[in-house]
Amino acid sequence: MNNIENIYKFADSLACETKLNEPMKKHTSFKIGGNAAVYIKVDSLSKLCKFVRQCKLTDTKYFLLGNGSNILVDDNGMDCAVIKLDGDFKEIRMIDSETVYCGAGATLAALCKFALNNSLSGLEFAWGIPGSVGGAAFMNAGAYGGEMKDVVVSVNHITDDGAIGRIDKENLEFGYRTSAYRKNNCIITGITLKLKSDNPDDIRHRMDDFMSRRIDKQPLEFPSAGSVFKRPEGNYAGALIEQCGFKGKGVGGAEVSEKHAGFIINKSNATAKDVKELISQIQTTVKKETGYDLECELIML
């Protein structure tokens, strides 16, 4: 019996929802990707700790899936265990009048609604970002002048040995689309945020304003993974790509959005190979014509 079959049986023994050969295109905003060898929903911290320890013991690789909004899965799929946080990991609760705890499996949308319903400001920038809370902390998600680092005070995690831990803000190493979790191999399980009390009508107005801007400027009507490239110092990826004439150009079913050149969309049954080839063409041309190196923000699996 191979590792995948063993880990499938182990997850099943924990009463986790478990599937073999699960199509990853069902779990990514790009709607692209082959099958995961095994897909497992974990609904409690104790189960997650046990599962990670078992993976360590059996030398089984795993990947923690957030909301699938910033990844490109290979057409051949993922020969590993894909973990999806559910159940307890979607909990959102008040700690005090301006402090909130949120599980890593909750969506940013759910967290923003919770803040609004409790008259708390600070997360308006995140309204409309289609990621999970854990993923947002992992990459220090941001928009419209706000970032997760502005509101996160600590992050809870488990190590790759299945031990429970926490990192406070001063050691989170937040930067542009990065954090300490980019390199420490820990699984984020939840975050604590410090927000500010405000008038709910004012909060709603700011949320509506940001959402309106997204709808106007981003190709939300097509599957995509958001901004493909990080912002280069002194310029904007979308502007450079448009300058090089890529708007509306494509490879196979993948196309540079005519609405915003920083987005690659799945226009018509695109494959990961299509997207990778288009990314390569963009990087080569932008470097040749402008001198800028475009670094992918997209995580390729």
The DSSP result for 41-97, as a single string, is: EE-SHHHHHHHHHHHHHHT--EEEE-SSSSEE--TT-EEEEEEEE-GGGG-EEEEET
Q: Amino acid identity, residue 121?
A: S
With a CB cutoff of 8 Å and minimum separation 6, the contacts of 68 are: 24, 27, 28, 29, 30
- Residue 134 sits at the vertex; the CA angle it makes with 233 and 6, to the nearest 5 degrees, is 120
Q: Which residue has the tokens 């929802």?
A: 17
Q: How far is CA 115 from CA 200, 211, 298, in A?
A: 9, 16, 28
| Residue 234 per-residue DSSP state | T
Written as one letter, the residue type at 118 is N
- Residues paired with 146 in a beta bridge: 143
The answer to whether residues 237 and 262 touch, using CB atoms and an 8 Å cutoff, is: yes
Contact indicator for 73, 168 with CB cutoff of 8 Å: no
CA distance 184 to 111: 25
Question: What pLDDT does residue 161 have?
Answer: 93
Catalytic residues: 177, 227, 297
Q: Report the greatest alpha carbon distance in the chain.
A: 59
> Which of 212, 192, 297, 264 minimizes the C-alpha distance to 30?
264
Query: How close are the terminal C-alpha atoms of the chain, in Å?
Result: 25
The b-or-e profile of 152-177 (16+ CB within 10 A means b, else e) is: bebbbbbeeebeeeebeeeebebeeb
**pLDDT given for residue 2 in this prediction:** 73
* 274's tokens: 């299509």
> Whole-model pTM?
0.92
Q: What does each of the 301 residues of the chain score in pLDDT, given as a tens digit?
A: 478 889 999 999 999 999 999 999 999 999 999 999 999 999 999 999 999 999 999 999 999 999 999 999 999 999 999 999 999 999 999 999 999 999 999 999 999 999 999 999 999 999 999 999 999 999 999 999 999 999 999 999 999 999 999 999 999 999 999 999 999 999 999 999 999 999 999 999 999 999 999 999 999 999 999 999 999 999 999 999 999 999 999 999 999 999 999 999 999 999 999 999 999 999 999 999 999 999 999 999 9
Predicted local distance difference test score (pLDDT) of residue 1: 46
Domains observed in the chain: 3-87 (3.30.43.10), 91-202 (3.30.465.10), 218-300 (3.90.78.10)
Dist CA 93 CA 103 (whole Å): 9
170 contact partners, CB below 8 Å, separation of at least 6? none
* Residue range 78-116, pLDDT digits in tens: 999 999 999 999 999 999 999 999 999 999 999 999 999
Long-range contact set of residues 217-221: C-beta below 8 Å, sequence gap at least 24 = 217/259, 217/260, 218/259, 218/260, 218/263, 219/257, 219/258, 219/259, 219/260, 219/263, 219/265
